Structure 1
């Protein structure tokens, strides 16, 4: 795989000078296994990946000769150059590679099936301070803290299965589609089937198990679904998925985007996220005696998601454009309710199949694929655990199409809507004690500041729509 544009090296303004110290958090055996693979498979470079606060992938490259020291001690970088990280006077950071994430990146092939370009590996890193303590601004560490809260609550696994949708366009200069195919299209209109097939091969080559793929509702819109996994592993996979999708599209001369709503009048791209809690290998969401086959744990978890949905919206849908998707009429959830079959509800409970008790789960439909998965999964887990620990009661199921109810009918039933803009969502976030706890005292104020700034930049623009509507009339 060629070095992707969106994961270009996070070039420091000055090299971070950090005192050498054995900061590795992995076993000696795991580190030796990585070094052996690098040598045996002729890897020429290894990319160290981590994310900034908004979920943009950052990387820098290490040569094989430097790998042993990097595995033992990490590599220093200037955190002041990374969005949401520390100011320049306290900017020295260290990236500690996680050996369990080592993969050799896929490469394009020529007409004869020969791989092109250098053989490159990648490892996902935890970010620490020079003394080796975790950096509170590292989104990966934040998710680790949420999982620690889960373990203290008596569970051992938070399984997550996100469904990422995306668009393929002719290039990154516009939104010229490749086809006019619709949902599950299997005709010549679905021009990107070959691109999807190559994407699946590339994803599987880096250890991402794929369950199925298909054309989505909008023209040139696609979905490739990963098999569920532990939340931290899945967040790593989500970051990898996004860059692989973009890279394979580029091999074919196209551009892939996870922008939530690139086309006016068409469905946007969501990231429906399936969740369940396990303990000792058992799904704690399942109850054979309940009419919906949901345990008390599951009901309280779902209630937590509903109660805190507005507060965490700015994390699950974090861009101005996210709220162009979250409007009635385009299959996107707007109203805070739950149902087993009603897809207009925010949370859906997939139908139970006898013998599939382990698959009992809740699906939240408001996240979009441009979120930071580490922050998103952490926020969802905290909200669900809050419901469990405080014994939230699950409201009645909503079986009616919520889009067809009047505002007064929704009010009578106690159904609220998600925020209608990033500005509204940020203020909900800013006033949330739970999200302050979920994001931590380091990330929380920085994240609120970033999103307020984005909203202010947007709301002060004069758009073409305004000129067309008002210039000649006013």
Structure 2
């Protein structure tokens, strides 16, 4: 059945005649959905009957479909009293067909399909969606770099070409997706998960049962969609599942990763969205629940979405040149060093577009292979590519394949808005490249500056900071040294968003080309802020309340030792401090809610840190208390 289905309409097949012919041939495709991406990365979804679409196809292609923008995340832009949005189809992207395998079309015997057409969201004549922001930032990047190459033709000398040989600049990107999969309504013991992780019992192990089936089905479907999957495997997190009497597996709790081929930046972000949808549906069909949360379980490895970026020149003779690959005895070219410096210098204002949820910052903790420092690694020697997994910006090099040189940003997570994240990266990279070309910097100059020690003067990078380390940054440096050399990582969403006001000169870098302008940035900030406050008050505190109520006294007073009594007294005091109000005192939860209602977000941020620390202590003491009891 699958071989007869249409999975994708490529960008070169988007004429009215071709679309009409394909939809008339594939009668199982019953609906069309215009897919716009708001500033939170949410995708719109609706069902327009294909008959209506074909009847008015010219309007779809040449005009716009109107919708209510108050239901998407565009605060300060699409408001209740000014909510009209126009949805304009994007013909310059692949269009995927999503199939409902639980709804079989009677006439064709095939699953009902929906053609998902990427679109832009237009408000008062201006595009305000994440896809358009990325597309515009890439257009600005490619145009700016091309103009700089015309102004500085000497930069192309080592490649043996002139600017007249260039057809276009190409910005490429790719993502790797990690996620947790489990049996619905099952909860694994934290200690079992943590122990399994420390013993590396799950990493690259063989998948079994329904997990194996779902993983293989995902890879097969990705191939059919033309996404060119490269690998699927188990990650570090998880515990061994249980075998039932019928031979099936239950109590599944595993972490997986799927990788696929790079594409141009906008298509790569579209592909990322398509893969996440596909994974959710396939695993659900196999009776398994998938979460893309960055840190679904405290104390255990979270899920990342390493994001790769590269730059190439497509020449008129068809040849491709990777601009990051060194042309001399160096780690990188001038363009590569400069791009890395642009990202590292401006990362404080990139980070709000990378980590925008409470769990995303929980993932970025020392000891879980997630970056906490603004630092890169190039390799101990030029002949030995870096394998340092503790840095923020990894350099991927293959000495046998010069086309593969690229950077890997290790901080994104599955819920990172890839469109805005990649846009911010490229806007920062062009800032570094501009510095290098306008000041005639050589590879030696840039390597020296990138490798500077704290306190050494630099023309572009900050004097008191370091930006390169070949060491394990968690083990080699103390916490105080990490903060002094590489900056202090934000601990809350409020601290992360505060970078916009704290680093105005860096924010100007993201405003180049009027792509991420003040209106867009403010709308994004408002949306993230609202989600942060709402989640704390309506989800995190409620979850903590349930957890606190589950911490009950377990010992019998007549059999208890003084240690048991002391532990319980400490536990009970913490329980009351966190959630119990009296006539004279307010609990920590109440104080957070009151600060939220008053709009005192700085105070909320401080209290959130205290709350998380108190909950951590409470869990540890309760675990010790429980383990010391014989008769439970």
SS in 2 for 1:329: coil
Q: Is the 8 A contact 1:159 1:230 kept in 2?
A: yes
Is 2:32 the partner of 1:46?
yes
TM-score if structure 2 supplies the norm length? Answer: 0.64
Is 2:113 the partner of 1:119?
yes
Indicate how the Cα distance of structure 1 residues 454 and 330 shifts in structure 2: closer, same or farther if over 3 A, else same: same
Following TM superposition, by how much is the alpha carbon of 1:417 offset from its aligned partner in structure 2, in angstroms?
A: 3.9
Q: Is the 8 A contact 2:47 2:114 kept in 1?
A: no
Q: Is the 8 A contact 2:232 2:259 kept in 1?
A: yes
CA distance in 1 between counterparts of 2:13 and 2:302 reads: 46
Indicate how the Cα distance of structure 1 residues 195 and 301 shifts in structure 2: closer, same or farther if over 3 A, else same: same
CA distance in 1 between counterparts of 2:34 and 2:302 reads: 32
What is the correspondence of 1:189-338 to structure 2 with a 5 Å cutoff? 192-219=211-238, 220-280=254-314, 281-292=320-331, 294-338=332-376
CA deviation string 1:395-438 (max 9, x = no partner): 353111100111343356x2224322212111113443334555
Is 2:248 the partner of 1:147?
no
Following TM superposition, by how much is the alpha carbon of 1:71 offset from its aligned partner in structure 2, in angstroms?
A: 2.8
Structure 1 portions without partners, runs of 5+: 1-25
TM-score if structure 1 supplies the norm length? Answer: 0.85
After alignment, is 98-107 or 140-149 more displaced? 98-107
Following TM superposition, by how much is the alpha carbon of 1:27 offset from its aligned partner in structure 2, in angstroms?
A: 9.4
CA distance in 1 between counterparts of 2:84 and 2:369 reads: 45
Counterpart selection for 1:103 from 75, 89, 96: 96
CA deviation string 1:421-471 (max 9, x = no partner): 212111113443334555222221111112223333455664347786765
Could you say which residue in structure 2 is the equivalent of 1:419? 490
SS in 1 for 2:272: helix
After alignment, is 74-83 or 213-222 more displaced? 74-83
Could you say which residue in structure 1 is the equivalent of 2:164? none
Could you say which residue in structure 2 is the equivalent of 1:59? 45
Is 2:399 the partner of 1:353?
yes
CA distance in 1 between counterparts of 2:230 and 2:13 reads: 34
Is 2:35 the partner of 1:31?
no
Q: Is the 8 A contact 2:207 2:234 kept in 1?
A: no
Q: Is the 8 A contact 1:342 1:401 kept in 2?
A: yes
Could you say which residue in structure 2 is the equivalent of 1:384? 429
Indicate how the Cα distance of structure 1 residues 202 and 107 shifts in structure 2: closer, same or farther if over 3 A, else same: farther
Could you say which residue in structure 2 is the equivalent of 1:86? 78
CA distance in 2 between counterparts of 1:267 and 1:61 reads: 38
After alignment, is 243-252 or 320-329 more displaced? 243-252
CA deviation string 1:275-322 (max 9, x = no partner): 111122211101131431x11111111111111222221211110110
Indicate how the Cα distance of structure 1 residues 341 and 140 shifts in structure 2: closer, same or farther if over 3 A, else same: same
Following TM superposition, by how much is the alpha carbon of 1:168 offset from its aligned partner in structure 2, in angstroms?
A: 1.0
CA deviation string 1:127-182 (max 9, x = no partner): 2347xx442x21111111111211222252111111111111223x56559x9761
Indicate how the Cα distance of structure 1 residues 374 and 122 shifts in structure 2: closer, same or farther if over 3 A, else same: same
After alignment, is 259-268 or 438-447 more displaced? 438-447
Q: Is the 8 A contact 1:169 1:176 kept in 2?
A: no
Is 2:527 the partner of 1:450?
yes
CA deviation string 1:160-219 (max 9, x = no partner): 111111111223x56559x9761111154x751211111122222223121111111111
SS in 1 for 2:206: coil
CA distance in 2 between counterparts of 1:175 and 1:31 reads: 51
CA distance in 2 between counterparts of 1:122 and 1:459 reads: 34
Following TM superposition, by how much is the alpha carbon of 1:230 offset from its aligned partner in structure 2, in angstroms?
A: 0.4
CA distance in 1 between counterparts of 2:432 and 2:116 reads: 38
Q: More helix per residue: 1 or 2?
A: 2
CA distance in 1 between counterparts of 2:177 and 2:412 reads: 10
Could you say which residue in structure 2 is the equivalent of 1:3? none
Q: Is the 8 A contact 1:134 1:141 kept in 2?
A: no
Following TM superposition, by how much is the alpha carbon of 1:66 offset from its aligned partner in structure 2, in angstroms?
A: 2.3
Could you say which residue in structure 2 is the equivalent of 1:162? 175
Counterpart selection for 2:508 from 417, 429, 433: 433
Counterpart selection for 2:413 from 368, 378, 397: 368
C-alpha RMSD over aligned residues: 2.8
Indicate how the Cα distance of structure 1 residues 390 and 123 shifts in structure 2: closer, same or farther if over 3 A, else same: same
Indicate how the Cα distance of structure 1 residues 176 and 353 shifts in structure 2: closer, same or farther if over 3 A, else same: same
Indicate how the Cα distance of structure 1 residues 439 and 458 shifts in structure 2: closer, same or farther if over 3 A, else same: same
How many aligned positions are there?
A: 438
SS in 2 for 1:472: helix
Which fold has the larger relative contact order, with Cα–Cα distance below 8 Å and residues 6 or more apart in sequence?
A: 1
After alignment, is 464-473 or 242-251 more displaced? 464-473
Indicate how the Cα distance of structure 1 residues 229 and 417 shifts in structure 2: closer, same or farther if over 3 A, else same: farther
